């Protein structure tokens, strides 16, 4: 029996400051290469720790000062192609064998003003290209599936919805770890928490105003925002400052992955006020950590959170304040929400994501 060679675009694996798509790539690829049903070849643009990968996995480092994907990776595909190429968080190269790609969201079409013009055009062209030439497409939600069909006229039978997973380290965070993280970041008061890249689509200015409204009543709250700077972050910072929270607003920038579980577990309420999400990984992480979750009733968030979160219209500030206040004031409601969130989070496991992805890869090879 000939074992197929499956190549993987591993260009996102070396990123130290991971967003949701990079977390997905890392967890999924590490799970896939444990399978002996294929010979795995990972194309990387930077060195990875060889000892962190199974001995049989080929780490193929290829470098180029520019045009890594469409130039250097395309050349590799022409000279020594795998039987199948999997692209978990990027674009299919111009030269390619049969390929499977993950397309995470089409938010740039829904909110074009929230992306630099050049980036928006690049995302549109590259996503349309990948959707057209892929043999199969993975999406993390029905929302992204519907967008591909509606916006790019992608054939529905090419698309498979496979939800992301959540790491077990977010569950049952020990007390000593909670105390360590609180002390590390000076979190002496109860706090609201938001996690994600800081840019207008995350709707953080509305959250800041809601936090100010709650702080002005009987709630002694801080607002903690975790995330690296994105486009127009300065405008977001200005709007947070204008909300008048003062030192009650704590912007932690990017924090180490090991600190995130305790930040979720200790929050009085996790809030995802985004205007658009293709999946919303922080929501699942927060539910897994036992945080009560409030999130927007838009895009993929109702599908992902289901009955494990309280929802609000992201254009209605009063609804956001009311949703948070109910969690803070009603212990029975809060406990019920946490219980449902924990149950919902158990439906998102990396083992399931890996198994479903591996099945799709082999189905595609068999065509």
Pairing of strands 84-87, 58-61: unpaired
Kindly give, in sequence order, each residue whose CB lies less than 8 Å from that of residue 43, ignoring residues fewer than 6 positions away.
Answer: 7, 8, 9, 10, 11, 60, 62, 73, 76
Average pLDDT score over the chain: 94
pLDDT of residue 180 exceeding 80 = yes
Q: List the domains of the chain with CATH numbers.
A: 5-165+349-365 (3.40.50.2000), 168-345 (3.40.50.2000)
In this predicted model, what pLDDT tens digit does every residue of 224-265 receive, in sequence order? 999 888 877 788 888 888 888 888 899 998 899 999 999 999
Centroid of chain to Cα 52: 23
In this predicted model, what pLDDT tens digit does every residue of 278-298 receive, in sequence order? 999 999 999 999 999 999 999
Mean pLDDT of 109-125: 91
Give residue 1's pLDDT. Answer: 62
Question: Residue 234: is it exposed, middle or buried by C-beta count within 10 angstroms (0-12/13-18/19+)?
Answer: exposed
In this predicted model, what pLDDT tens digit does every residue of 181-197 receive, in sequence order? 999 999 999 999 999 98
In this predicted model, what pLDDT tens digit does every residue of 254-265 receive, in sequence order? 899 999 999 999
Q: Which of 180, 190, 316 is nearest to 258 (CA)?
A: 180
Please give the order of strands across the beta sheet that includes 84-87.
58-61, 39-44, 5-9, 84-87, 99-102, 136-139, 159-161
What is the Cα–Cα distance from 275 to 357, expressed in whole angstroms? 28
């Amino acid at each position: 029996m000939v074992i197929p060679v499956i190549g993987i675009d591993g260009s996102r694996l070396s990123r130290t400051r991971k967003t949701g798509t990079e977390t997905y790539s890392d967890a999924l690829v590490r799970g896939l290469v444990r399978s002996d049903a294929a010979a795995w070849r990972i194309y990387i643009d930077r060195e990875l720790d060889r000892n962190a990968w199974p001995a049989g996995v080929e780490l193929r480092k290829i470098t180029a000062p520019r045009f890594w994907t469409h130039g250097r990776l395309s050349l590799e595909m022409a000279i020594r192609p795998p039987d199948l190429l999997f692209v978990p968080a990027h674009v299919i190269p111009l030269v390619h064998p049969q390929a499977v790609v993950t397309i995470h969201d089409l938010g740039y079409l829904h909110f074009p003003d929230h992306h630099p013009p050049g980036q928006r055009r690049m995302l549109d062209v590259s996503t349309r290209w990948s959707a057209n030439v892929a043999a199969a497409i993975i999406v993390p939600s029905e929302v992204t599936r519907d967008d591909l069909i509606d916006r790019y006229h992608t054939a529905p039978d090419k698309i498979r919805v496979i939800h992301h997973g959540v790491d077990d380290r977010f569950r049952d965070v020990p007390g000593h770890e909670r105390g360590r993280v609180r002390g590390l970041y000076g979190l002496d008061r109860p706090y609201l928490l938001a996690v994600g890249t800081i840019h207008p689509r995350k709707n953080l200015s509305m959250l800041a105003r809601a936090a100010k409204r709650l702080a002005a009543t009987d709630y002694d709250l801080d607002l903690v925002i975790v995330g690296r700077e994105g486009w127009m972050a300065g405008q977001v910072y200005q709007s947070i400052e204008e909300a008048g929270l003062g030192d009650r607003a704590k912007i932690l920038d990017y924090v180490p992955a090991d600190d995130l579980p305790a930040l979720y577990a200790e929050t009085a309420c996790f809030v995802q006020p985004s205007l658009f999400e293709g999946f919303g990984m922080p929501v699942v992480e927060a539910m897994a950590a036992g945080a009560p979750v409030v999130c927007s009733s838009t895009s993929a968030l109702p599908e992902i959170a289901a009955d494990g979160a309280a929802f609000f219209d992201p254009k209605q500030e009063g609804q956001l304040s009311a949703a948070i206040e109910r969690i803070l004031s009603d212990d029975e409601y809060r406990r019920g929400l946490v219980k449902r969130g924990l149950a919902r989070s158990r439906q998102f496991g990396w083992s399931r994501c890996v198994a479903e992805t591996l099945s799709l890869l082999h189905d595609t090879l068999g065509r």
